[in-house]
Amino acid sequence: MSETNATTSAATEMAGQDWAALAGELERLLKLRSFPFGMKLFETVEAMEAVPRLRRPGKIHTVDQVVAQAARLGRTVGITGDDLVGDQCRAVVGLGDQGPKWQSGQHMVGVWYATPEDAGAHQQAMHIVPSGRYAGLAVSPIAQGRLDPPDILLFYATPGAMMYFINGLQWAGYKRFDWSVVGESSCADSWGRALSTRSPSLSIPCFAERRYGGVLDDEMLMALPPADVPKAIEGMKALAKNGFRYPFAQYGVQMDVREGMAASYPDRA
């Protein structure tokens, strides 16, 4: 089965999921402070606008702002390239020009990068959805079930919660994860990478996400296929039975460590 067919099959299997229950489990296990949300790309604007209770922006935004409206305000929002401030935002989600001018990164020279060569190298390092296929993108809190199923599921959480979620993913069918940091435009590390590769993608949100998207200093962003989330939840529940729960209880930096470790590793007593 091709990667595309496998992705389509996995998405179809998630259709009809109890999204409210899934969101509730994530919120309970990770103590989330914002809504888990989904993203879905549409080949036509008409298909996007058929999403129930969809809002269309009345102002020009960054994708970070649109994401924040779903994660912080609980809104379902649909956008086209015309709703976004520039090609940097449009390119990541496949809604805008990805030609030579964008690839040069000239708009970032002297702003984020010292030379045209540095700016161009940054553009080439970004994960982006190829342009030409999609006309719109919708974001919505998962619990509302309006994107059934979304292409990817995302949530903001603290570094400790992210590590616990990753531990849950790795409980059964262990896999090592290798992620990168592109720097500014780090949405390419999260939703850009997850939408284009359909694989779990962790990012450190960049300046633009924090300034325009309201991301807090202690938050990271996970984006991944929805089908991976039940697996991670089952893993976290198994870890909880072993005494590992988030938030992690502090043991003390001057305590004899053997008593604490003996609860999990009897040979360390």
pLDDT digits (tens, 9 = 90+) for 187-209: 999 999 999 999 999 999 999 99
Q: Is 135 a member of any domain?
A: yes
Three-state DSSP class for residue 11: helix
* Mean pLDDT of the 157-170 span: 98
Per-residue pLDDT, 166: 98
Question: Given pLDDT bands bounded at 50, 70 and 90, which one contains residue 3?
Answer: very low
Please report whether residue 214 resides in a domain. Answer: yes
Domain hosting residue 164, numbered range:
3-244
Judge whether 16 lies within some domain: yes
Q: How far apart are CA 7 and CA 22, in angstroms?
A: 20
Mean pLDDT (the chain) is 94
pLDDT interval class at 210 (50, 70, 90): very high
Residue 183 lies in a domain: yes
pTM: 0.93
Is pLDDT of 9 > 80? Answer: no
Q: Which of 205, 209, 213, 214 is nearest to 159 (CA)?
A: 205
Is the pLDDT assigned to residue 8 strictly greater than 90?
A: no
In a domain, 218, yes or no: yes
259, burial (CB in 10 Å: exposed 0-12, middle 13-18, buried 19+): exposed
- Is there a domain that residue 104 lies in? yes
Who contacts 209 (Cβ-Cβ below 8 Å, separation ≥6)? 64, 186, 187, 215, 221
Count of other CB atoms within 10 angstroms of residue 45: 15
In a domain, 171, yes or no: yes
Residue 53 lies in a domain: yes
Per the structure, the count of domains in the chain is: 1
DSSP for residue 84 = B
Say if residue 10's pLDDT is above 80. no
